[in-house]
Structure 1
Amino acid sequence: MSDVQIYHGLGELPADLGATAVTIGNFDGVHLGHQHVLQQLVEHAHRTGSTAVVITFDPHPALVHRPESAPELLTGTAEKLARIEATGVDAVLVVDYTPEFYVLTPEEFTRTWLVQGLGARAVVVGHDLRFGRENSGDFSTMVQLGEQHGFEVVGVADYEISGITGARCSSTAIRTALQHGDVDAVLHMLGRPHAVMGEVVHGAARGRELGFPTANLSAESEGMIPADGVYAGYLVDAHGRRWPAAISVGSNPTFDGVERVVESHVIDRPHEQVEDFDLYGQYVRVEFLSHLRGMIAYEGVEKLVAQMQQDVDETRRILAASEQA
C-alpha cells in the first residue's frame, strides 16, 4: 500500500488485505515507546512481506469503564491517527469500543479480529500487553493463542528514555509530568513538543490592552493541558505557519480570573503582519517546549507588564537556543 488506510470495523477490511503483522494498543500520545513498537511492527512486516496493521480503540477504554476517573487524554483521535500514520504503517483498524466488543474473551478477540478478520501471521506487542474481557489476557496468553492459531508473537522490550536508565516511557508518566508542568521531560518522552489543539476564541482582551495580545483557545480544545504557568513554545496556525509564542495557562490571578484558559502571545511577527494578524475562528495548535515559571498574582499592572516582557525575552532566548541545537 502506498497510502495508510484507515478502517473502522471488520466490515471495512478489503478481501485482498493479505497476510498481516499486527500490533494492538490505545497509543494515547503516540510517545517514543509507542513509536518503538510501531517501528518494530513495520520492520517485521517488511521482512516477511506482510501488511503492517495497527489495532486501536475509540473511545479510549477508560472513558467507557470508568468515565468519572478516566485519565485526561494526551491527544484527540485525529491527532493520534496522524501520528500513527507517520510511523510508516500500512493500515489502522479503529475498533469501536462498545459493550459488545469489550466482553469478548481473549480467545474470542483473537479468533474474530486477528485470525479471521486480519489473517495475522505475526502479532508485535510489548510484554505488558493486556487484552480481552477485564484485561484477562496477557503476553503469555497471546503466545499460547499464537501457537494454537498459527501466528508468531514478537515481544518488544520497554523503551527507556535516553540517558535515564530504567525510566520507562509511558502515557501515565507523560500525564504525571504535564500535571507538574514539566513539558521539558515530556519532550524527551514524546520526541516532540506536547500540543493542545483548538479554535481561537475571543477572550477578555486584557492582553491586548497591556500590549501583549493573545490567541485564546476554546474550552473544547483537544489534548491534555499542562499545569498552570507560563511556557515557551509555538503556535501553528490553520495555514501550517509555526509562530514562536509565550504561552500562559491558568485563570489569571492578577485579575481574579476563574476560568482556566490557554493564551498564546505570538512574538516577533514580521512588521507588515502586526496590525492584520487575525487568528479568530482558526483551529490552531499550541506546542509547549519549555516551562518558564508558575502562575503568580502581581500587585499592580506595572509589575505584571514587566514580568510579561521578561517572559517574552526568555521565550525568545529559549526558542533560539532550541533551533540552534
Structure 2
Amino acid sequence: MHFFRSLHNIKSYPQGCVLTIGNFDGVHLGHQRVLNKLKQTANQLGLPAAVMVFEPQPKEWFDVSTAPARLSTLAEKVDLLQAQNIDALTCVAFNQRFRGLRAEQFVQQVLVDGLNVKALIVGDDFRFGCDRSGDFAFLVQSGKQFGFSVEDTRTVEQEGERISSTLVRQALQNADLSHAQSLLGREYSITGRVAHGQKLARTFGVPTANVLLKRNHTPLVGVFAVEVSTKQGHFQGVANIGMRPTVGTLTPILEPHLFGFTGDLYGQRIKVTFKHKIRDEKRFNGLDELKAAIQQDIQLAKAYFNEQ
C-alpha cells in the first residue's frame, strides 16, 4: 500500500483512482463494507483503490478537549487499511487552510487536481468544505462536470443498530469487549512504541512496558487481562490503561506487564490486545496498597487465562 502524507506527488497514479473519504477510526465492519465496495469498483475500472483520511481528525482540530477518544492512531490506521488490501492511503493535514476550502475548491483542488478521482464512494450524509457547505448532491453535480462518478454507501446494521465508531467507543467504555469485537470484526487492540517511564512498577518486582498512546483520551480505562505481541513472541499479561490516579500522570498511559518475559522492549512497537476487564482504575492510599493491588490483578489475570 502506498502511503502519502500530503496531496503532493500523488501523480504516481496519472490514470486516476477510485476514492473514499472519512476518518475510518477503528476500521470497523461498517468501514469494511465501504472498503469492499471501493475495491470492487476499483477492480471494475482497473484503477487503484484509495482512501483519504485527515490528521488530526476534524473534531480534534476544532476542540481536542471534547473530541471523542480515538480508536486508532494514524499508524494503526495504516496497518488496518493495509490489511484490507487498499492500494493507496492519503493523509491530508486538517488545518486552517484546508478547513477554509469552499466546496467547489475542495472538488477542484483535492478531488480533480490532487487525486484525479474517477469514482468517489461516500455516505449520502457526507459533508465537506468550509462550514460543511458541500453535500452529496453537490458531489453528484460536480462529478458530471469533471467526469467522475459518485456512489453512496448503505448503512451497516447489527441487531438494529448502525455500526459506527461511536458505538464501538460505547462498548469499550462499558468494558463490553465481546460487543466491541462483534462491531470491529476483531478483538480490540492498541499498538504503540515502548518508551522509558518512571519505572515505579519495576521497584515492585513487576516491570511494565510504557506504551506511548498518542491519544488525548483513551477509549477504555481500567485494568485488563491482555495478550501482548512483541518481536520476541506473544505473551499473556495484565495492563493498566488510564491516568494512574495513585501516582498521577498528565496524559493517559498504557502499561502492560508481560508474564514470563525477560528482555528489553524499549523502542519496539508492540500490540496489546484486551481480553477481559479486571477492575476500574482506583486511587490507593499509598504505594504499599498499590503494590498489593497489582499482585492481586496479576493473580486474577492468570486465573482468567487458566479458565480459557
Which of the residues 82, 85, 98 maps onto 2:82?
Answer: 85
Which of the residues 35, 54, 76 maps onto 1:57?
Answer: 54
Question: CA 1:116–1:290 in 2, change beyond 3 Å: closer, same or farther?
Answer: same
Cα deviation for residue 297 of structure 1 reads 7.0
Gaps of 5+ in 2: none
Cα deviation for residue 310 of structure 1 reads 2.6
* In the alignment, structure 1 residue 292 sits paired with structure 2 residue 292: no
Cα deviation for residue 240 of structure 1 reads 6.5
Aligned positions of 1:61-80 closer than 5 A: 61-80=58-77
Cα deviation for residue 42 of structure 1 reads 0.7
Amino acid at match of 1:283: R
CA RMSD after TM alignment = 2.8
Question: What is the rounded CA distance, in whole Å, between the counterparts of 1:302 and 1:101 in structure 2?
Answer: 52
Figure out how many residues of one structure are paired with residues of the other and give that number. Answer: 300
Cα deviation for residue 91 of structure 1 reads 1.3
Q: Is 2:202–2:208's contact at 8 Å kept on the other side of the alignment?
A: no
Aligned to 1:181: 175
Cα deviation for residue 37 of structure 1 reads 0.8
Question: What is the rounded CA distance, in whole Å, between the counterparts of 1:15 and 1:293 in structure 2?
Answer: 50
Question: What is the rounded CA distance, in whole Å, between the counterparts of 1:46 and 1:293 in structure 2?
Answer: 48
Q: Is 2:196–2:210's contact at 8 Å kept on the other side of the alignment?
A: yes
Question: What is the rounded CA distance, in whole Å, between the counterparts of 1:15 and 1:311 in structure 2?
Answer: 49
Amino acid at match of 1:232: A
Cα deviation for residue 251 of structure 1 reads 5.8
Aligned to 2:196: 201
Aligned to 1:217: 210
Question: What is the rounded CA distance, in whole Å, between the counterparts of 1:298 and 1:11 in structure 2?
Answer: 52
Amino acid at match of 2:229: V
Q: Is 1:62–1:70's contact at 8 Å kept on the other side of the alignment?
A: yes
Amino acid at match of 2:268: Q
Which of the residues 221, 230, 240 maps onto 2:223?
Answer: 230
Question: CA 1:227–1:80 in 2, change beyond 3 Å: closer, same or farther?
Answer: closer
Cα deviation for residue 288 of structure 1 reads 1.2
Aligned to 1:244: 236
- TM-score normalised according to structure 1 size: 0.80
Amino acid at match of 2:91: V
Question: What is the rounded CA distance, in whole Å, between the counterparts of 1:35 and 1:54 in structure 2?
Answer: 12
Which of the residues 304, 308, 311 maps onto 2:301?
Answer: 311
* In the alignment, structure 1 residue 35 sits paired with structure 2 residue 32: yes
Question: What is the rounded CA distance, in whole Å, between the counterparts of 1:279 and 1:27 in structure 2?
Answer: 29
Percent identity, please: 31
1:33-61 deviations in Å (ceiling 9; x for gaps): 11221111011100121221212212222
Cα deviation for residue 15 of structure 1 reads 5.8
- TM-score normalised according to structure 2 size: 0.84
Q: Is 1:249–1:263's contact at 8 Å kept on the other side of the alignment?
A: yes
Aligned to 1:170: 164
1:7-38 deviations in Å (ceiling 9; x for gaps): 23332122653032111112122222112211
Question: What is the rounded CA distance, in whole Å, between the counterparts of 1:109 and 1:264 in structure 2?
Answer: 43
1:288-321 deviations in Å (ceiling 9; x for gaps): 133233346789676764554133211343xx4x
1:187-244 deviations in Å (ceiling 9; x for gaps): 22222232332314344544763x6x242425x423553443322221122x162222
Gaps of 5+ in 1: 321-325
Question: What is the rounded CA distance, in whole Å, between the counterparts of 2:91 and 2:279 in structure 1?
Answer: 39
Which of the residues 105, 108, 114 maps onto 1:108?
Answer: 105
* In the alignment, structure 1 residue 6 sits paired with structure 2 residue 3: yes
Amino acid at match of 2:269: Y
Question: CA 1:86–1:206 in 2, change beyond 3 Å: closer, same or farther?
Answer: closer
Q: Is 1:246–1:315's contact at 8 Å kept on the other side of the alignment?
A: no
Aligned to 2:119: 122
Cα deviation for residue 85 of structure 1 reads 2.1
